[in-house]
Amino acid sequence: MKERVRACTACHGKEGVATNQGYFPRIAGKPAVYLYNQLRHFREGRRQNPAMRHLLSHMSDAYLMDIAQYFSALDLPYPPPEPTTVTPRLLARGAQLVRQGDKQRDIPACTACHGAAMTGRLPATPGLLGLPRDYVVAQIGAWRTGSRHADTPDCMAHVAQRLSQDDIHAVSQWLAAQPVPSMGHPAAPGRQTTGVACRGDTH
């Protein structure tokens, strides 16, 4: 399988660990169902990336699951976060949105779906720590513009529409500044509490 996924590691880094900079997310250690869903979404055009769609266009669902399970099983350490230069006030706003949301604007806390430690939740919700800041901004932007979709109901599409540009900046900066606890393992399955129906196959 290691030989079969060389096309993946060309962009996502050796063993899928990527880096915490740029636009290529880490895929090592992510929940297998999440990875499988994203591979399907690229293949079917729910996520827009011509190279990914071309690569996956002739792969079966079973083959996509093999890829997903391979990367999900890689239990590798995360690098330390990059130093931040933004103000403490901005980071505090990001932390508030991540941990508490904004009830007045009907914005749920990120932790409601992605776990209290923000390392994801099984079976299909990814962690948000250890991702490049630019990648987080780009994905929220893709939901805002309708160029990215998840299976119905698409909870992130609803959440993204309620976030301002300042919110997105604050959240992405706070997430990028946080170390990943332990090995960053996803939490056990649990009930999401956002008030927005969510399949948990986002990001």
Q: What is the CATH number of the domain that holds 113?
A: 1.10.760.10
Q: Is residue 191 part of a domain?
A: no
User: What pTM value is reported for the model?
Assistant: 0.90
| Closest residue by Cα to residue 186 from 102, 117, 121 | 121
Q: What's the total number of domains in the chain?
A: 2
133 band by pLDDT with thresholds 50, 70 and 90: very high
Of 27, 33, 29, nearest in space to 10 by CA: 27
CA distance 136 to 187: 21
User: Are residues 161 and 128 part of one domain?
Assistant: yes
Q: How confident is the model at residue 182 (pLDDT cuts 50, 70, 90)?
A: confident
Q: Of 44, 72, 100, which residue constitutes the final position of a domain?
A: 72
Higher pLDDT, 90 or 194: 90
Residue 203 lies in a domain: no
Percent of the chain residues topping a pLDDT of 70: 94
Same-domain status, 172 and 96: yes
Count of beta carbons in the 10 Å neighbourhood of residue 195:
13
What one-character DSSP code corresponds to residue 81?
A: P
Q: Are residues 36 and 96 in the same domain?
A: no
Shared domain for 93 and 159, answered yes or no, is yes
Same domain, 65 and 94: no
How many residues appear in the chain?
203
pLDDT on residue 124:
94
Check whether residue 92 and residue 61 sit in a common domain: no
Domain that holds residue 36: 6-72
Residue 152 and residue 112 in one domain = yes
Pairwise CA distance, residues 64 & 80, whole Å: 30
**Helices and strands (DSSP H and E) totals, the chain:** 9, 2
Task: Kindly state whether residues 119 and 47 are assigned to the same domain.
Answer: no
